[in-house]
């Protein structure tokens, strides 16, 4: 029989946190796997495909922020960060690096379960990617390596992208042709707390248009669907 319970990977170097947390999640209908560090996380990802990762920020060796960054770069599953209550900068950095939510320690396990369920509901509601978030694509006059925050033009021009512009373009490219609402774009680019750090998705789209459109006042690559959101309408050629 196919296992249908959501699968959560818990990554924390403290066994007194990860083991009781695994038991609590299992009591509430989840499957769990455990990892104590980045190396064990990579091994776990090689053996299974978790629906969500609960990731501690402060770990020996590779820390949670570095892990979060590379998970985001390769299109990994949603991430819930566990942070020290006083480390506000870690929470902000984590969200900027692509975490979907955070929970300060110490926390109530019931709140963690509620946040896990909320993240999974949002992930389920998002349009499915047409491609993985990796590779090199050509569109219009640009060549774009999805892992790099820059565009290369046919004339040799290189255009740098901010972290927000890069995340937005990746979201558009891997879901080209699909209409994405503003809320969906917030979830795809910055996660639950995005509104605290972005003035608006509309401003991000405007900035990106100014960099990639031949005429930003008459866009033909990123189209507005009034009352719905935006759609990336460029014709794509995947090179890798």
Over range 142-158, report the average pLDDT. Answer: 93
Average pLDDT over residues 56-64: 90
Query: For a pLDDT cut of 90, what percent of the chain falls above it?
Result: 51
Q: Give me the chain's average pLDDT, please.
A: 86
Region 71-83: what's the mean pLDDT?
Answer: 83
Check residue 192 and give its pLDDT: 45
| More confident site: 195 or 230 | 230
Q: What pLDDT, on a 0 to 100 scale, did the predictor assign at position 130?
A: 58
State whether residue 70 is helix, strand or coil. Answer: helix
What pLDDT is stored for residue 79 in this prediction?
A: 92
Looking only at the bridges linking them, the beta strands covering 31-35 and 52-56 are: unpaired
β pairing state of 136-139 and 222-225:
unpaired
CA end-to-end span of the chain: 37
Reported confidence tier of residue 191, pLDDT bands at 50, 70, 90: low
Q: 184 in helix, strand or coil?
A: helix
Residue 29 — left, alpha, or beta (φ > 0 → left; ψ -120 to 50 → alpha)?
left
**What strand order describes the sheet that includes 79-84?**
31-35, 7-11, 52-56, 79-84, 101-105
Residue 135 has pLDDT above 50, yes or no: yes
Cis before 34? omega within 30? no
User: What average pLDDT does the segment 199-211 reach?
Assistant: 87
What is the per-residue pLDDT for 131? 61
In whole angstroms, give the CA distance from residue 237 to residue 240. Answer: 9
Q: Is the pLDDT of residue 75 over 80?
A: no
Contacts of 188 (CB under 8 A, 6+ apart): 126, 167, 171, 180
Question: What are the φ and ψ backbone dihedral angles of 234, each rounded to 5 degrees?
Answer: -70, 150
Model confidence at 197, in pLDDT bands (50, 70, 90)?
very low
For 27, what's the count of Cα atoms within 13 Å in the CB-facing half-sphere? 9
Taking residues 19-44, report their average pLDDT: 94
More confident residue, 181 or 73: 181
- The structural domains of the chain, ordered by start, are 7-125 (3.40.50.2300), 136-238 (1.10.10.10)
Kindly provide the residue ranges of all beta strands, DSSP E only, lying in the chain, ordered along the sequence.
Answer: 7-11, 31-35, 52-56, 79-84, 101-105, 136-139, 142-145, 150-153, 158-160, 179-180, 222-225, 229-232, 236-238
Determine phi and psi for 223, rounding to 5 degrees. -100, 145
Does the pLDDT of residue 223 top 90, yes or no? yes
pTM of the entire predicted model: 0.62
Is 100's pLDDT higher than 60?
Answer: yes
């Amino acid at each position: 029989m196919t296992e249908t319970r959501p699968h959560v990977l818990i990554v924390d170097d403290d066994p007194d946190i990860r083991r009781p947390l695994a038991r609590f999640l299992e009591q509430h209908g989840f499957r769990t796997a455990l990892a104590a560090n980045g190396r064990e996380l990579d091994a776990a990802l090689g053996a299974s495909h978790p629906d969500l990762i609960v990731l501690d920020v402060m770990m020996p060796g590779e820390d949670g922020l570095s892990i979060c960054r590379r998970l985001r770069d390769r299109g990994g599953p949603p991430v819930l960060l566990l942070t020290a209550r006083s480390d506000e900068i870690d929470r902000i950095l984590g969200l900027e690096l692509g975490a979907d939510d955070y929970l300060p320690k110490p926390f109530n396990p019931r709140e963690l379960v509620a946040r896990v369920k909320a993240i999974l509901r949002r992930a389920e509601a998002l349009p499915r990617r047409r491609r993985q978030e990796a590779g090199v694509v050509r569109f219009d006059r640009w060549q774009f390596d999805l892992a790099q925050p820059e565009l290369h033009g046919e004339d040799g021009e290189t255009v740098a992208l901010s972290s927000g512009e890069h995340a937005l373009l990746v979201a558009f490219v891997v879901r080209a042709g699909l209409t994405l609402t503003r809320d969906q774009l917030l979830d795809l680019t910055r996660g639950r707390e995005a509104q605290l750090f972005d003035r608006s998705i509309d401003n991000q789209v405007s900035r990106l248009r100014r960099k990639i459109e031949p005429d930003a006042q008459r866009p033909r690559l990123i189209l507005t669907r009034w009352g719905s959101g935006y759609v990336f309408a460029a014709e794509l050629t995947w090179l890798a």
